[in-house]
């Protein structure tokens, strides 16, 4: 696999509307805190990638991808607003980092998921195949 | 911290950011659609998927991608005081994996999304542009502009 890392954890920042009610000062503050947080994790070698996602996008589904729908996706409180890829060894450590997220106090949610070594598509199906034939 | 150390750190950060500076993220939704497949269908799908991914990676358009384990945690509340186990939301909204694409245009990213194996079986793929702007910061700029317009 052509991947930057074989294992680790992914933080998915859930919700794209939580900052709507904040004052400009609060927003400035949380934005600075967030960047400082990412900078520190990167310096510590714990974050290997991370990015906010543009709010607009598309969802592709149906045979040959014939259904192309505009975003936003699901309810905005469930939409993914950004991600960090973490190079840490344990789920506990990943959760500890998630708990430092500056948006939590304002209603942001962070999903913590272990990254698997296999490819995204075949890996999933192979697991099912193993279970089905066990 | 010495200047050299500061420069080294800065460079490390820039390199880490560069990895994901531009491009698009495909979020592969999962709803356990494969549960309805028989062994032969599943084998066919796995073979198709591997061939698809190999082709895509050979084209140099993928710079990262992995499956996500189904179990995890959801952290919320002040100082992350609330930690719940997965699965998250309804299973059809759970993200099963992702691919980071190194392509120039949104159209190209959507075109690749259309080739994801499993679409015919009910799979959904979300295509999202990566950005360098923090969403809270973008909203702040928006507010500032609104204020300027109101006072202009």
* CA of A121 vs chain B CAs: smallest distance (Å): 6
Virtual torsion, Cα A41, B81, B70, B16, nearest 10 deg: -10
Two tokens, residue B36 = 């309805």
Residue of B nearest to A75 (CA): B93
Instruction: Decide: B99 and A120 in contact? Cβ < 8 Å.
Output: yes
d(CA B59, CA A31): 37
C-alpha gyration radius of chain A: 17
Interface contact flag, B46 A126, Cβ < 8 Å: yes
pLDDT band at A2 (very low <50, low <70, confident <90, very high): very low
Quick check: A9 and A114 in contact, CB under 8 A?
A: yes
What are the chain A neighbours of B9 within 8 Å (beta carbons)?
43
Please enumerate in sequence order all residues whose Cβ is within 8 A of that of B91, keeping only pairs 6 or more positions apart, or say none. Answer: B30, B31, B32
pLDDT in tens, A25-78: 888 888 889 989 999 999 999 998 898 888 788 888 888 888 888 865 566 777
From the list A116, A44, A101, A74, the residue with the least C-alpha distance to B89 is A74
Per-residue model confidence as pLDDT tens digits over B88-115: 655 667 888 899 998 989 899 999 999 9
Q: How confident is the model at residue A124 (pLDDT cuts 50, 70, 90)?
A: low
């Amino acid at each position: 696999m052509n991947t930057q890392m074989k294992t680790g954890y992914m933080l998915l920042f859930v919700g794209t509307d939580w900052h709507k009610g904040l004052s400009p000062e609060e927003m400035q503050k949380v934005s600075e805190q967030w960047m400082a947080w990412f900078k520190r994790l990167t310096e510590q070698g714990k974050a290997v990638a991370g990015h906010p996602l543009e709010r607009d996008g598309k969802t592709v589904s149906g045979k040959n991808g014939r259904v192309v729908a505009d975003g936003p996706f699901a309810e905005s409180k469930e939409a993914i607003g950004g991600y960090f890829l973490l190079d840490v060894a344990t789920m506990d450590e990943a959760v500890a980092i998630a708990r430092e997220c500056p948006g939590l106090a304002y209603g942001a949610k962070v999903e913590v998921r272990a990254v698997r070594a296999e490819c995204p598509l075949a890996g999933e199906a192979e697991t099912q195949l193993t279970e089905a034939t066990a | 911290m010495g200047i050299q150390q500061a420069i080294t750190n800065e460079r490390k950060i820039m390199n880490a950011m560069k990895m994901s500076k531009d491009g698009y993220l495909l979020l592969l939704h999962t709803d356990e659609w494969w549960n309805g497949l028989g062994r032969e269908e599943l084998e066919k799908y796995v073979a198709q998927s591997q061939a698809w991914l190999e082709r895509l990676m050979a084209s140099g358009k993928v710079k990262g991608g992995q499956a996500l384990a189904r179990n995890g945690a959801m952290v919320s509340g002040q100082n992350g005081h609330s930690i719940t186990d997965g699965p998250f939301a309804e299973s059809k909204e759970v993200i099963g994996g992702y691919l980071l694409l190194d392509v120039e245009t949104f159209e190209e990213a959507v075109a690749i999304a259309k080739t994801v194996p499993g679409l015919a079986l009910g799979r959904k793929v979300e295509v999202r542009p990566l950005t360098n702007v923090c969403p809270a910061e973008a909203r702040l700029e928006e507010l500032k502009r609104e204020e300027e317009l109101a006072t202009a």
